Amino acid sequence: MNSRVMHRLVEQVRQIGREERLWSSGDCIVVAVSGGPDSVALLHILYQLAAEPDLKLRLVCAHVNHGFRGAESNEEAEFVRRMASKLGIPFELGVYNIPAYMKESGHGAQLAAREKRYEFLHSVAEKYGAGAIALAHHADDQAETVVMRILRGSGSSGLAGMRMKRREKNVELIRPLLRIYKNDLIQMCEKTGIPYVTDSTNLLPKYARNAVRLDVLPFLGQYNSGLTESLNRLAEVVGTEDDFLQQKAEQVYQELIFNEGGIFSFKIEPFVALHAALQRRLIKLILNYLPLGTEDNDFTKIEAIRKGAIQNLPTTWSLDLGGGLRCMREYDMIRFMLDPMGNSGLPYTYPVEHFPAEISVPNTEHCLRFTRYRANMGSISLDELGDEEAVFDADKLLYPLTVRSRLPGDFMKVIGLNGSKKVKDIFIDAKIPPSSRSQIPMVTDAEGQIIWIPGLRRSAIATVSQHTTSVLRIALDTRRFN
């Protein structure tokens, strides 16, 4: 047995593990082993490292029978079981009927198999208290991944390819072979006499990854003999830069983003000052925090939000993000939220026939308080009134009054104007965010005329004068709409 090749790869993986902090002394690692040369080499390399006094790693061999190839799959499972037994490593087998799961879930073969495989590996990690799951992806796999993501139109995060270490469900997914090429792994197995099996489905071009491996990469390799190495360098460089950009985005997120009750928002002025790359990354980060989540092909959606934020007009707009989520521009703010209409968009009507009275405004923390009194019993100077209260000549009002939700086409006779003004225009002039407008009630008289928009404007109806003997005071509690 020639151990020189194995020794070189063991040293290389030891160095990678140290640089990337893939494990610590005494760690338990679940090793995913399919039976092919890559995973078999990984198991034997980690077996060599595990025995070293300064590491003392505990290994668990995990194999998944996907149920695609009948007897061939069963033979592979038994092959991996015998290998683990020979090495004295605990063995765990997961058996799934992936074709049946494909019909149940509607997923394609590769996605369905991946979901069940990772589900099993995580269950094994939980059973043994393992902190990591070791996967046998190598440099050739990385090159294939980068090409597939280029074809899919991925951004920088996608072009970074697979990561050496990624946390998922409180377990680290580690790829110790990611800088090692497949030929080296096969050579190690053959020169050391380590047996492995060959999965016949790896030669079927109907699977996208196989087509990239068998057709696309060889074709492109005609123009660059070092294509695989170039693609790995690309992933390495882009991955590092992507990490840096992500750190900057998270820093900016802490500085600019407000989160109030699940509504994420930011002011436009500091956002516009950011580099376009940070603008996109910040929007993507917000979407990731929402129940929506994003994929690389969400570029169009992210760019629509970004351009809508940096343009001068229009100053209000709304974009449906799907899944009941919406992004809205409201003058100098961008907001991300669940559909803002929701229940707050339901119409309501409350008659006010007796005084004093108190009406709670639906879906807000506000209420309107009505009080009637004689003018000589504590008259209020009109100059002292704020936006949260209004007074009327009680004898000039038409009763009963009504508190209702806003209606399309609402208008009001405004003090100082010869005529009426649309409520919509009043909101626009006051720069009331569209998402807040449905929360503002209208107070009307018996003829449906709006006498007050709480917190905003009073009508020209029933104004108080020196001849007023009875006053109706309406106050808005507890805070303004904003």
Residue 331: inside a domain: yes
Residue 141: inside a domain: yes
User: Alpha-carbon torsion 19, 21, 23, 29, what sign?
Assistant: negative
284, 308, 338 - which closes a domain: 338
The full 3-state SS of 412-477, as one line of letters, equals EEECCCCCEEEHHHHHHHCCCCHHHHCCCCEEECCCCCEEEECCCEEECCCCCCCCCCEEEEEEEE
pLDDT (tens, 9 = 90+) of the chain, 482 residues, equals: 457 889 999 999 999 999 999 999 999 999 999 999 999 999 999 999 998 989 999 999 999 998 777 788 899 999 999 999 999 999 999 999 888 888 888 888 888 889 999 999 999 999 999 999 999 999 999 999 999 999 988 888 899 999 999 999 999 999 999 999 999 999 999 999 999 998 777 767 777 888 999 899 999 999 999 999 999 999 999 999 999 999 999 999 999 999 887 789 999 999 999 999 999 999 999 988 886 554 544 788 889 899 999 998 888 888 888 777 888 898 899 999 876 554 445 678 888 888 998 888 876 777 899 999 888 645 555 555 677 899 999 999 999 999 988 888 899 998 777 788 999 889 888 888 877 787 789 999 999 999 999 988 889 999 988 889 999 999 998 654 44
How far apart CA 124 and CA 181 sit, in angstroms, is: 28
The number of angstroms, rounded, from the C-alpha of 384 to the middle of its chain's C-alpha atoms is: 49
Among residues 249, 310, 260, the alpha carbon closest in space to that of 285 is found at 249
The position carrying tokens 């390399």 is 45
Q: With contact defined as beta carbons under 8 Å apart, do 360 and 434 qualify? A: no
Q: With contact defined as beta carbons under 8 Å apart, do 97 and 115 qualify? A: no
How far apart CA 159 and CA 172 sit, in angstroms, is: 21
pLDDT in tens, 305-345: 999 999 988 888 888 887 778 888 988 999 998 765 544 45
* Structural domains in the chain (count): 3
393 and 367, same structural domain?
yes
How far apart CA 388 and CA 476 sit, in angstroms, is: 5
- Strands 349-352 and 333-338, by their bridges, are unpaired
CA triple 363-365-369, angle to 5 deg: 110
16 and 164, same structural domain?
yes
Residue 431 main-chain phi, psi, to 5 deg: 55, 45
pLDDT value at position 382? Answer: 56
327 and 440, same structural domain?
no
> Which tokens hold the place of 369?
């308080």
Residue 265 falls in which region: left (phi positive, over 0), alpha (psi -120 to 50) or beta:
beta
Three-state DSSP state, 199: coil
168 and 77, same structural domain?
yes
CB atoms within 10 A of CB 12: 16
108 and 11, same structural domain?
yes
Q: Is 356 within any annotated ligand binding site?
A: no
186 and 262, same structural domain?
no
pLDDT value at position 466? Answer: 85
Domain of 274: which CATH number? 3.30.465.60
Question: Which secondary structure element, helix H or strand E, spans residue 121, and what is its range?
Answer: helix 109-128
Kindly write down the DSSP assignment for every residue of 127-146, as one continuous string. HHT-SEEE----HHHHHHHH
Range of the domain at 168: 4-234
Residue 137 falls in which region: left (phi positive, over 0), alpha (psi -120 to 50) or beta:
beta
Q: Is 39 within any annotated ligand binding site?
A: yes
Residue 183: inside a domain: yes
How far apart CA 317 and CA 327 sit, in angstroms, is: 8
Residue 408 main-chain phi, psi, to 5 deg: -55, 135
Residue 240: inside a domain: no
User: Alpha-carbon torsion 145, 148, 152, 154, what sign?
Assistant: positive
CA triple 122-126-128, angle to 5 deg: 120
Q: Which residue(s) pair with 267 in the sheet?
A: 333
pLDDT in tens, 156-203: 889 999 999 999 999 999 999 999 999 999 999 999 999 999 877 776
Residue 39: inside a domain: yes
pLDDT value at position 381? Answer: 57
Residue 309: inside a domain: yes
Residue 239: inside a domain: no
306, 338, 370 - which closes a domain: 338
338, 364, 385 - which closes a domain: 338
Angle of the 182-192 helix axis to the 4-20 helix axis, nearest 10? 140
356 and 455, same structural domain?
yes
275 and 192, same structural domain?
no
Q: Is 36 within any annotated ligand binding site?
A: yes
436 and 313, same structural domain?
no
452 and 352, same structural domain?
yes
Full strand arrangement of the beta sheet holding 258-260: 258-260, 263-267, 333-338, 325-330, 316-322
Q: Is 38 within any annotated ligand binding site?
A: yes
292 and 174, same structural domain?
no
424 and 311, same structural domain?
no
Q: With contact defined as beta carbons under 8 Å apart, do 188 and 23 qualify? A: no
**Residue 400: cis peptide before it, omega within 30 degrees of 0:** yes
The position carrying tokens 């073969």 is 109
Residue 252: inside a domain: no
pLDDT value at position 278? Answer: 96
How far apart CA 421 and CA 410 sit, in angstroms, is: 9
Domain of 201: which CATH number? 3.40.50.620
